[in-house]
Amino acid sequence: MNILMVASEAEPFAKTGGLADVLGALPKALRALGHRVAVVMPRYRSSNERIGPTSRVLETLAARKDASVDLLDGDVPFYFVNCPVLYDRDGGPYGNGSGDFPDNHIRFSTLCRAAIAISRWIFRPDIIHCHDWQTGLLPAYLRTSLALDPTFIGVKTLYTIHNLGYQGLFPAETLAETGLDRAVFHPGGVEFWGQVNFMKSGLVYSDALSTVSERYSQEIQTAEQGFGLDGVLRDRAAALHGILNGADYGEWNPETDPLIAANYSDRDLSGKFACKSDLIAEFGLPTDAESRPLLGVVSRFVSQKGFDILGEIAPALAALNVSLVALGTGEKQYEELFRDLAVAHPGHIAVQIAYDHKLAHKIEAGADMFLMPSHYEPCGLNQMYSLRYGTVPVVRATGGLDDTIGDRTGFKFEEYSGPALLDAVHVALGAFPDKAAWTGMMLAGMREDFSWHAAAGRYSALYGKLTRVPAG
């Protein structure tokens, strides 16, 4: 089958979170199953160095004369939408230090229209697989203005929700700039409390929907976790599938990882201690931290990730015989929270406000435990990486965290509160001194298999179901 993936970020070209990990790994896993897969994404200024030489394949795109497509060929070809006025900017994929780019509705509706042009002229897909709000308008174009276009008859769309908390909401008057017909602006279409909602468009107009864990697929159908779209999702429940992400063990494997101080495996754990010493040094903690349990955090610093409750218990944590290292960037309030904690508890809490790939690997390898107290977590990848690195996860039982961590491999708590988190940490710390049992838990985690192969198989089955022509 021919599958065209459309997304706003993908490893190794642009990354703010797990979406990029997925787009870096899933296409390859589908390729290994025999599908032809290509990816469409914007050509951001920050990706230029990584992209290198390309061949230019389409000089102008429908509705935009200042855009072209750059092809980076390979097992999985990448088509970069090259529209300098929209993407050749300082900052990240969605904004800069002053906030989100004000023309994101144009930037990402252009991505969708470019993907449609690529489907028409360059790569003819059976399935267009869209990811998150940035691609939410694509199915709307196909099902409205292009509904009678013979090129797209039989082309099916799958829309994957990676995070319902980010919906792509824009004022009503921006609709005209997306090229969508005004007729889609109603409660059964893209309208959401008077605004244009890109995510809702994806939910309404796609042939099938998926999200990145079974548990999250249930949670988003409730008022508590539905971000106002739970009703839409309940209406589409029959078309909604929960498919757990995988972990890319080519990149996240302590046996071969070139970014960590020493390699180790479930057959020989000795290198892990060298990784712990190295991590302690990286964060400038005293060497006596080597004998204390070391907790790690790698995260976007946003409220989704549970830093308000972690902040609440941090003084109590620092009073225990533990150390905590945290790596992240994001909302100012959480960056400040971590900075303040490091100042208040020197020698116990250390933080780096940075986006640092290498340090992320060093934390996965060097910590004894990995903290993810998320308020909600569609899938979560770090806990899967932690398992492989023998770093025992302490997580809140939500979304993909609940689906991937069991009693044998980690510690979970239910209630979203500081005391519940602190209890879980106490239980974990209580278990830590029993070296035999702790090692057993590490090994059980290291031997779990969340490779992409299984997820790719499930997507493949879903694509098959979507494209099968009903008998008769």
Q: Residues interacting with ligand GLC, by CB under 6 A?
A: 17-19, 22, 162-163, 212, 245, 377-381, 400
Least distance to ligand GLC, CB of residue 403, Å: 11
CB closer to ligand ADP out of 327 and 350? 327
Which tokens belong to 31? 């390729």
CB closer to ligand GLC out of 22 and 351? 22
The 8-47 site mask, x for binding ligand ADP (CB under 6 A), equals: ---------xxx-x--------------------------
Least distance to ligand GLC, CB of residue 29, Å: 14
Tokens 């991505």 locate to 111
Picked from ligand ADP, ligand GLC, none, the partner binding residue 212 (CB below 5 to 8 A depending on kind) is: ligand GLC
What lies within 8 Å, CB to CB, of 121 at 6+ separation is 58
Picked from ligand GLC, ligand ADP, none, the partner binding residue 386 (CB below 5 to 8 A depending on kind) is: none
Least distance to ligand ADP, CB of residue 32, Å: 21
Strand extents, DSSP E, 320-438: 323-330, 349-353, 369-372, 392-396, 411-413
Tell me the torsion sign for CA atoms 360, 361, 364, 365: negative
Least distance to ligand ADP, CB of residue 267, Å: 25
**Beta-carbon count within 10 A of 309 CB:** 21
CB closer to ligand GLC out of 82 and 383? 383
Which ranges of 5-83 would DSSP assign to H, the alpha helix?
Answer: 18-32, 48-51
What lies within 8 Å, CB to CB, of 149 at 6+ separation is none
222 φψ region: left (φ > 0), alpha (ψ -120 to 50), beta (else): beta
CB closer to ligand GLC out of 25 and 111? 25
Between strands 55-58 and 169-171, the pairing is unpaired
Between strands 68-72 and 55-58, the pairing is antiparallel
Tell me which H or E stretch contains 157.
strand 156-161
Q: Rule CB under 6 A: which of 394-453 touch ligand ADP?
A: none
Least distance to ligand ADP, CB of residue 319, Å: 27
Which tokens belong to 190? 């893209």
Which tokens belong to 228? 């106002």
Under the criterion CB under 6 A, does residue 94 sit at the interface with ligand ADP? no
Least distance to ligand GLC, CB of residue 463, Å: 18
Under the criterion CB under 6 A, does residue 160 sit at the interface with ligand ADP? no
CB closer to ligand ADP out of 203 and 381? 381
Q: Which residues bind ligand ADP (CB under 6 A)?
A: 17-19, 21, 298-300, 327-329, 355-357, 360, 379-382
